[in-house]
Each structure stands twice: as C-alpha cells, then as structure tokens.
C-alpha cells in the first residue's frame, strides 16, 4: 500500500484549499467539507471562529443539491472535526 502524502486527523485524510477543508477519503461514500466563514486573532494568529460543516456524498452522478446529506455550524475547528468524525464514524 502506498504511503499517503496527506495530513491526517485520527487516521483520516484532511486537505485544506484556501478556506475550505475536506475531511475523509474521496473513495469512501461520504466526506465532510468544512468552510471557514470567520476568523479572530489569538496571540497574533488567525483562528477559525465560525465554520459551516457539510456531510457530502462522493457520488458525482448526483445533483449537487442531493450530494449534501447533513449540515451544521460550529464555533471552533475542534468542534467541527469532532462532528465530522461522528458523521463519518471514525
């Protein structure tokens, strides 16, 4: 098996592109998309304080509206990843 070049959280791939984070394996039935909607300064660093979470089907034959099966909003990345783990049952 090839070694993954992605950062992982609890053994699951975690990929960031700009203000969007994808959590999960695209070969699985579902992944979680986390959008950073707002940040605040903490110790000189920007920290996410408003996030939108969506559990999405990876089936590209579905219409985009039908790909989203669950939604939530959280106030920290930890809370968002905690819910994402529960949704993917990691």
In this model, does residue 15 exceed pLDDT 80? yes
Q: Which residues contact 62 (CB under 8 A, 6 or more apart)?
A: none
Q: Is residue 2 part of a domain?
A: no
Provide, rounded to the nearest whole percent, the portion of the chain with pLDDT above 90.
Answer: 90
Q: Is residue 1 part of a domain?
A: no
Please give the residue range of the domain that contains residue 62. 7-88
* CB 75 within 8 Å of CB 49: yes
Q: Is residue 23 part of a domain?
A: yes
Q: Is residue 60 part of a domain?
A: yes
Q: Which pLDDT tens digit goes with each residue over 50-60? A: 999 999 999 99
Count: domains in the chain? 1
Confidence of residue 1 (pLDDT cuts 50, 70, 90): very low
Q: Is residue 36 part of a domain?
A: yes
* CB 40 within 8 Å of CB 30: no
């Amino acid at each position: 098996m090839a070694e993954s070049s992605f950062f992982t959280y609890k053994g699951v791939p975690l990929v960031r592109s700009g203000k969007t984070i994808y959590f999960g394996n695209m070969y699985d039935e579902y992944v979680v998309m986390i959008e950073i909607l707002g940040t605040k300064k903490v110790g000189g660093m920007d920290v996410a304080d408003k996030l939108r979470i969506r559990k999405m089907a990876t089936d590209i034959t579905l219409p985009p509206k039908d790909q989203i099966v669950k939604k939530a909003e959280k106030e920290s990345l930890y809370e968002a990843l905690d819910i994402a783990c529960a949704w993917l049952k990691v």
